[in-house]
Amino acid sequence: MLGVLLSPDMAAELKIRYLEREFDIPMESNMGEEMNLMCNLSDYVEELGIKKGIEQGKEQLLTQQIMKKCAKGKSTAEIADDLEVDEATVRNIPEKNLVSNH
């Protein structure tokens, strides 16, 4: 039953009919509204997770780019200019000790 309720691939109306038919759960009219709200909430949570993952990926890519440029001997100013970020961003990566020595 939880699989039905939490399924991202099933519309709320279909979930309601399925719960009524397969589990003999009588659904009142206001339950449809609650089901829609629950479906929208799960979509929202999924969207937030995707956005968070994208942001983490961007941060990881920037860190990798900074580290590669640092390994090539570029200065903080050069790296910031190349990557179009401010120098504070370059200095604030986790391995900032490596970058700040340039």
pLDDT-derived band of residue 99, with 50, 70 and 90 as boundaries? Answer: very low
More confident: 93 or 31: 93
Distances (CA, A) of 90 to 12, 47, 50: 47, 29, 25
Alpha carbon distance 84, 8 (integer Å): 39
Alpha carbon distance 5, 18 (integer Å): 10
Distance of CA 2 to the CA centre of its chain: 24
Looking at the structure of the chain, the number of domains it has is 1
pLDDT, tens digit, for every residue of 22-81? 888 777 766 667 777 776 777 788 889 999 999 999 999 999 999 999 889 999 999 999
Q: What domain range includes position 58?
A: 2-100
pLDDT-derived band of residue 84, with 50, 70 and 90 as boundaries? Answer: very high
Distance of CA 97 to the CA centre of its chain: 29
Nearest to 15 by CA among 24, 26, 23, 4: 4
SS3 call for 101: coil
pLDDT-derived band of residue 14, with 50, 70 and 90 as boundaries? Answer: confident
pLDDT-derived band of residue 95, with 50, 70 and 90 as boundaries? Answer: low
More confident: 29 or 101: 29
* pLDDT number for residue 17: 81
Which amino acid appears at position 33 of this protein? E
Alpha carbon distance 74, 70 (integer Å): 5
